[in-house]
Amino acid sequence: MTTHTRFRPVLNPHLKGFACIRYPVEHVFDRDSSVGDDGFGCPFCLAAGLPASVSLLYDDSKLDFSLIAKDNPASGSSHYWPLLAYSGAPTRGEGNTPLVELFSLSSEIGVGRLYLIQFGAEPTGSHKDLMTPQAVARGLALGRKVVTCASSGNAGASMVTYAAAAGQEAVIFATPKMNALWAAHIRSAGARLIVCQSANERWFRMGEMVKRGEAYPVTNFLKPPVGSNPFGVEAYATAAWRSLRPLAIGDGASAGALRVPDWVIVPTARGDLLWGMWRGFLRAHAAGLITSLPRMVAAEPLMRLEAVLVHGADYRQNFQGPPHLMSSIGGETATLQSELALRQSNGLAVTVSTEQALAAFNLLCHFEGIFLELSSAAALAALQILRERAVIGPGHTVLLAGTSHGYKEPPGVEVPVASLT
């Protein structure tokens, strides 16, 4: 394994430090702190038994947020580097994420405008390709030669890709359910695949490796979880920023105005994408680029965040639900970052059954020719549920996060072919 790389990440000079997401004013850490790197989130909140991630703090007055409004679609994620932690991060062409307007389905479901951000078009076919480069860049900049993640799916495929490009070694902790093709990809990239018997064992063993200082963490390993590497999670803001420009076309908006969706629906497990996109909208709003904010919706396969928001459950507890086939958003845990994205945006969580996700999956294929992973189709199912409840209205603009395409479905998922004619 070579350790040479042509990537030379450069830290944003306007990064000031880190802020606890629970107490962003009281729990602040300077930029030399390891708080963004050790995977434990805010140490004060952890000590109090309230695990909470951290977000990155910048001197925003020095950043040029106007680039969000500039149309430069061919440059991908590098277009946004001045607003992220690292320029010169490893890139495989990610970030040119298509934003597709779903004309037929918007009419069928009865909403004003409906968009899908198609993360399946990223280099390894999922949204993780927005997160991984910044996390890997951080590891490179710190001189860490090994990166690690706990994943039996999209995060692992993404991490081995960027680690290989950056000349880093990668260690993946997976469960036996892993797709054989992904395992082949990981091994072909020269990464180490460690198969654990359960998701909990996966987190535990990854955590032990991180604590020994043997690898730099890209994903969560704590239980209760805090979420993934904050340098990576922050980069999901670019998906929010990218969604703003095409929505500005038409609609009678004044010249240069950016149109904001009324609702953003995100398939959610530990909420990295949900939180990262919400932070992106918040930063654009604080910079004066947009004048309104969307309401965020988490689509989930069992009642976790819905239990937290509606029934007052504690986000740190274990959540149980009936079996389902939405493996990319499964698991028994929730995070504070998810809860905060929903509370701060006056959003909500919607529990989607396998049957509802399958129906939405078929609708997407039939009306739009779009083939998504079942976990991603859950976002459309959540929209249908909220439309039926008249929470989302007929004039609203809705953005769905299509986190991955259907070719990434793990084995064992047999999707019935529906007759819609």
Query: Which residues contact Zn ion (rule: CB under 5 A)?
Result: 20, 22-23, 27, 42, 44-45
Q: Which of 262, 260, 278, 261 is nearest to 339 (CA)?
A: 278
Cβ 362 to Zn ion, closest distance in Å? 44
Residues whose CB falls within 8 Å of the CB of residue 369, separated by 6 or more in sequence, listed in order: none
- Of 45 and 189, CB closest to Zn ion: 45
Note whether 146 and 215 are within 8 A (CB): yes
Residues whose CB falls within 8 Å of the CB of residue 346, separated by 6 or more in sequence, listed in order: 295
Cβ 316 to Zn ion, closest distance in Å? 14
Note whether 334 and 320 are within 8 A (CB): no
- Of 45 and 114, CB closest to Zn ion: 45
Q: What is d(CA 75, CA 102) in angstroms, rounded to the nearest whole number? A: 25
- Of 45 and 196, CB closest to Zn ion: 45
Cβ 50 to Zn ion, closest distance in Å? 8
Q: Which of 62, 76, 172 is nearest to 133 (CA)?
A: 76
- Of 233 and 290, CB closest to Zn ion: 233
3-state secondary structure the chain: CCCCCCCCCEECCCEEEEEECCCCCCCEEECCCCCCCCCCCCHHHHHCCCCCCEEEEECHHHCCHHHHCCCCHHHHHHHHHHHCCEECCCCCCCCCCCEEECHHHHHHHCCCEEEEEEHHHCCCCECHHHHHHHHHHHHHHCCCCEEEEECCCHHHHHHHHHHHHHCCEEEEEECCCCCHHHHHHHHHCCCEEEECCCHHHHHHHHHHHHHCCCCEECCCCCCCCCCCCHHHHHCCHHHHHHHHCHHHCCCCCCCCCCCCCCEEEEECCCCHHHHHHHHHHHHHHHCCCCCCCCEEEEEECCCCHHHHHHHCCCCCCCCCCCCCCCHHHCCCCCCHHHHHHHHHCCCEEEECCHHHHHHHHHHHHHHHCCCECHHHHHHHHHHHHHHHCCCCCCCCEEEEEECEEHHHCCCCCCCCCCCCC
Cβ 30 to Zn ion, closest distance in Å? 15
- Of 285 and 343, CB closest to Zn ion: 343
- Of 52 and 159, CB closest to Zn ion: 52
Q: What is d(CA 282, CA 330) in angstroms, rounded to the nearest whole number? A: 27
- Of 18 and 361, CB closest to Zn ion: 18
Cβ 28 to Zn ion, closest distance in Å? 9
Cβ 48 to Zn ion, closest distance in Å? 8
- Of 42 and 172, CB closest to Zn ion: 42
Q: Which two tokens stand for residue 83?
A: 């607003």
- Of 47 and 74, CB closest to Zn ion: 47
Cβ 337 to Zn ion, closest distance in Å? 12
- Of 55 and 351, CB closest to Zn ion: 55
- Of 27 and 113, CB closest to Zn ion: 27
Cβ 46 to Zn ion, closest distance in Å? 8
Cβ 214 to Zn ion, closest distance in Å? 27
Cβ 23 to Zn ion, closest distance in Å? 5
Cβ 42 to Zn ion, closest distance in Å? 3
